[in-house]
Chains A and B, each alone.
Chain A
Amino acid sequence: MGDLKVVGKRVERVDVRAKVTGGALYAADVQLAGMLYGKIIRCYDYAHARVTSLDLSDAAECKGVIKVLGPKDVTQREYNASVLDMMVSADMRGVLGDIDDQSIFTDHLKHYGDAIAAVIATSEAAAERAAEKIRVTYEELPVYLTAEASKQPDALQFRPEKPGNRAFELPEMAFPGNVYAWGEVEESFSEADFIVEDTFYVSKQKQCQMEPGSYIALYDDQQRLNCWTSTQMPKLVQKKLANLFELPMTRVRINATVIGGGFGARLGMVLEPETCALAMAVPGRPVKLLSPREEDWLTSPSRHPGKYWMKMGFKKDGTPVACDAKFENYKGAYYVDASGTAFTTGAWLGGMYKFDSLRYRGESYYTNQSICGAFRGYGNPQTNFVMEQLVDRGCTQLGIDPIEWRKKWHKTVGDDGWCMGVPYNSCALDECLDRAAEAIGWTEKRAKYQNQTGVKRRGIGVAVMNHTSGAMPMLLEHTVCDVLLHQDATATINLACSDMGQGSHTTLRQVAAEVLDFDYDDVHIATGNTDAAGFDIGAHASRTLYVGGGAVKQACEDVRRQLFDRAALELEEDAANLYMEDKIIHVKGASNKSISVQTLADQGVNNFMNPENGELIGQPGQIQGYASFFPPHNAPPFGATIAEVEVDMETGEVKVLELVNAHDVGKAIHPGVVEGQLDGGAQQGLGMALTEETYFDEKGICLNNSFTDYKMFGPSDMPKMTNILVENPDPTGPFGAKGVGEAGIVPPVGATANAIFNAIGVQILEAPITPEKILKALEEKANVS
């Protein structure tokens, strides 16, 4: 790869100064002249009800109120806030069965906090006060909080086209038998010496991004719909809003504001439809909508919770012969991401180990919970919790070291990845496992923690994962990039990729500077305006550096090619005989023949005629690079985590003592950015394993849609942590890089569960693993033995 000047360096992040000083402009900070404020009236009395009467008259009379809108006062079109339908072909859309089942406001309320109506007023206070005057009566409907409840034959049907309230199952046409499978599972199980099997529960974890939803919309004098939002996917939201409000794309503009954390919560649309509907009702006036945390919690998606059954068969020597699994998730009130996660949860399972046969069923059921959708890992943490615990149960009963088993049986180069037919083309998981084991002292600790007595018992556990860099070939992967070379030989990179805090604008800038052979400070990444930027699918699936970086690389190479072509003409040499160094293009072997990039760039813009001979000086035309990039692969990253815990046998409390994360990242474009992703991922992974869950009472009222009673790991809860970056360049990634945005959250989930198993000898089948569940399990174990 030669000497890299910018890539691989810990350059200053592009966003750090603004974020640290408070200068970053979030949507909530944006003030426009004549701003109005919206407030949505939601139902906080029932999780399932029909509106029997709605009286907006008192609210309309309140001081400062401009307009009050009920369900009939806004577009009647239904929509699907997620974007999967735009990532597959029209044919595949039909096969997958994604449907539009959300509306701006509704009289059939399907979850706690569902939207009924809205007020537009001259101040936020006036809008809130008026909202309190809206009078609603309800007919209470039966509440279904789980798949087991909503699939009952007598249950009220959420959608006529989804009988049995089954929003999704793997479709027969793409998945014969409605399964994602290889081999003959029943036959393989008959060859097993030993079977492990259990039903687990995976929890409804919330992204807990710091920025609660904030939006502004303006239907302007040119009849264009403008929306300020911190969406992860500006270009898809532009198209979604164009469809919903029946406008051409050229009349919809997304101003993508600084994102205060995404993790999937800002994938697709959240309250953009509502905000735009309000703005369409008051043309010429901007309308701002600010969600309190409690509202953001209920209106943005969570992780898919549900029952996850799995069965594995092994030979006596540990050979994995068969795996059978079924994930029935509690989808929530609307369809969003019903298909995607139900599939990928199994895809990560299929991508991990060399079972002779494997079969996975994924089904999504409507429930009266708040919606589920994208969340960092997209099904992978759920699979990790279940798959990795069962592997360790098998290893323990067979007397095989869990690391040795994983090294022997994980899939690797040449094996099918998460998508069958797309084999892995790089894998350094063995090195990850070896280095993590050495860093934490696996062998000694594993031996030491056998047969412990006493109140505090320690345990050590491992988990591994595979993930992806972009979602091809399952979903469209495409980024357009323009590079504008200024006359002073600096460059502006124009594209729609968003940076939700993961550092992508920094790493994309590093890629650009490296390819152009410019300094880091000579390049600017311009984003945020869908009028200017070409297509980009959006920030998801750990793809921004891999695909966006691929586009930047290709567009910058286009600039380089043009520079070399012009230099060749000016120097009267073959382009192949030139090289660039410090922004000067030289002729190989002729030190006195050269031309600077600045001269070429300047001559392209300020192109004049030589008055003496009437000829043009240099080559005319400003240089612009362009790429419309479709990646050739999905460069799956691999990773391993080893966790060490201490369990209090009298109280069930778990203290995480240490975490070592070793990840095969291909190439760390910015090691600090990668470490940041692994740190943050671990914080969420530990939360999923130990503390995070959204609770509802039996009537479907959410009990903890705020930080008072939804507990994440804070700074003082985090263990000692080491991140090991294994750099094994992927042949398809920019400079060998793979995506790392999601990888970090996954293996801490299984590793923590396995460390607890190692400490106490019991597996806890429901996430999060709370002290309450541990004590109960210990008691049950004591009663049995």
Chain B
Amino acid sequence: MTSRVMQDFNLLLPETVPEALGLLASHKDKATILAGGTDLLVALKFDYAIDNVISLALISGLDELAFDPLLGLTIGAKVTIADIVKSEEVKQHYPALWQSAVIFATPQLRNTATVVGNILRASPAGDCSLALYALGGKVTLESTSGRRDVYLDDFWLSYGVTARQDDELAIAVTVPPPGQGQKSAFRRMTRVTEDLSKINAAVCLQMDGNKCVAARVAMGCVGPTLVRLINVEKSLEGEEITTDLLQAISDTVASDINPIDDIRSSAEYRLKVAGVLVKRVINLALNGGSDQ
């Protein structure tokens, strides 16, 4: 049960990344990282006791949102959802990410919550996480012993658990540059507009004319982590995308997912609409505005 009084903790305010890494190395699992704090503050009110909170507030250089046609998109650890919404380059080159950001929670939360924080939350419903998953993103982790990159494909281990080690700081997430014929989109279903997804889907297609060369299709709220729909991807690759193909794919999605009943929806419903959602998100990617 929630409390009105937050647990006591030490607030640590490193001013550089190396300083932050030093603190992480010494505190390990006795510390948690505060960037936007929109999940952490709720957790702290729900009796989540933690000794040390390492805030990124004073570290400069982690708020870079940069697009390079050759290197792709870099999203620093302090880049907020609102920053994504404001970026014309994201909107143009990575529509899936932009679409997942523009519907994210409320303006207040978009101004505070970070994209990297959304990934670290490892929620099976994460909207921006799902878009980045479909877009082939990877997380850059740094510790006193060095840096490593982990693709999102390997990042979420189970509900709320990631590949990040206790002494590592997630510096950024990067997304590969969009290919010539890259089309992407994100779509979700909710109970009301301002809500967590009851089911969501993101797609990134490499198209050559009407033909799909490569596909990444991801879905949320249908398992303990976000999942790739491998069979859907296989059915798309090398094929011309037609209404018939989409209908056939739509009919098979249910066999790729394993949803449960929860407060937001039911397993039965999610199984029924997953195919519809995939069909629509692909249409959205190909047609821009319309998903029908």
Contacts and interface: CB of A to CB of B under 8 A. Distances in A.
Interface stretch (A164-172, A195-203, A348-356, A713-721): A713-721
B1 A772 contact: no
Interface stretch (A292-300, A522-530, A555-563, A585-593): A292-300
Interface stretch (A439-447, A471-479, A703-711, A757-765): A703-711
A653 interface: yes
B159 interface: no
Given A128-B5, A704-B263, A714-B194, A772 B269 contact: yes
B193 to A, nearest CB: 4
Nearest to A44: B1
Interface in A128-184: 128-129
Contacts of A775: 269, 272-273
Contacts of B193: 714, 716-717
A678 to B, nearest CB: 21
A124 B263 contact: no
Interface string B250-292: 0000000000000111101100110011000000000000001
Contacts of B189: 651, 653, 771
Nearest to B103: A716
Contact of A125 (B5, B264, B269): B5
Contacts of B191: 691, 711, 770
B273 A290 contact: no
A711 B5 CA distance: 25
Contacts of A771: 189, 269, 273
A703 B272 contact: no
B192 interface: yes
Contacts of B242: none
A711 B277 CA distance: 22
Contacts of B269: 652, 771-772, 775
Given A651-B276, A695-B263, A775-B269, A42 B192 contact: no
A115 to B, nearest CB: 13
Interface residues of B, number: 23
B263 A709 contact: yes
B4 A42 contact: no
B10 interface: no
A27 interface: no
Q: Secondary structure at chain A's binding surface: helix, strand, loop or mixed?
A: loop
Interface string A682-708: 000000000100010000000110101
A772 B268 CA distance: 8
A455 interface: yes
A719 to B, nearest CB: 12
Contact of A711 (B1, B2, B192, B268): B192
B2 A712 contact: no
Interface in B182-234: 189, 191-196
Nearest to B272: A775
B292 A772 contact: no
Contacts of A704: 263
Interface in A272-308: 290, 292-295
B3 interface: yes
B276 A711 contact: no
Contacts of B268: 772, 776
Given A714-B194, A772-B269, A775-B272, A703 B3 contact: no
The listed residue with most B CB atoms (<10 A of its CB), out of A294, A455, A652, A772, is: A772
A124 B264 contact: no
A650 interface: yes
Interface string A363-401: 000000000000000000000000000000000000000
A772 B4 contact: no
Nearest to A695: B263
B273 A650 contact: yes
Contacts of A455: 292
Contacts of A712: 192
Interface string A502-539: 00000000000000000000000000000000000000
A706 B194 CA distance: 14
The listed residue with most B CB atoms (<10 A of its CB), out of A128, A691, A713, is: A128
A776 B271 CA distance: 12
A562 to B, nearest CB: 52
Contact of B194 (A44, A294, A653, A716): A716
B282 to A, nearest CB: 14
Given A292-B3, A650-B273, A650-B276, A709 B192 contact: no
A585 to B, nearest CB: 57
Contact of B192 (A44, A125, A293, A691): A691
Contact of A714 (B192, B265, B277): B192
A717 B263 contact: no
A124 B4 contact: yes
Contacts of B1: 42, 44, 292, 294-295
A770 B194 CA distance: 16
Nearest to A707: B194
Contacts of A695: 263
A716 B105 CA distance: 12
A196 B1 CA distance: 46
A45 B255 CA distance: 37
A42 B269 CA distance: 35
Contacts of B265: 772
Contact of A293 (B2, B195, B196, B263): B2
Given A650-B273, A771-B269, A713 B192 contact: yes
Contacts of A706: 2
Contacts of B277: 651
The listed residue with most A CB atoms (<10 A of its CB), out of B189, B195, B268, B269, is: B269
B2 A651 contact: no
Contact of B273 (A651, A691, A716): A651
A713 B263 CA distance: 17
B280 to A, nearest CB: 9
A290 B4 CA distance: 8
Contacts of A703: 263
Interface in A617-661: 650-653
A653 B195 CA distance: 15
Contacts of B3: 128, 292
Contacts of B276: 650-651
Nearest to A132: B47
Contacts of B5: 124-125, 128-129
Nearest to A294: B2
A713 B1 CA distance: 25
A292 B3 CA distance: 7
A704 B191 CA distance: 13
Contacts of B194: 714, 716
A292 B192 contact: no
A375 B276 CA distance: 38
Given A706-B2, A771-B269, A772-B266, 11 more contacts: A125-B5, A128-B5, A129-B5, A292-B2, A294-B2, A455-B292, A704-B263, A709-B263, A717-B193, A770-B191, A775-B269
7 nearest A-B residue pairs (beta carbon)? A716-B193, A711-B191, A772-B269, A125-B5, A650-B276, A711-B192, A709-B263
26 contacts: A42-B1, A128-B4, A128-B5, A292-B4, A293-B2, A294-B1, A455-B292, A650-B273, A650-B276, A652-B273, A653-B189, A691-B191, A691-B192, A695-B263, A704-B263, A711-B191, A711-B195, A712-B192, A713-B192, A714-B194, A716-B194, A717-B192, A771-B189, A772-B265, A772-B268, A775-B273
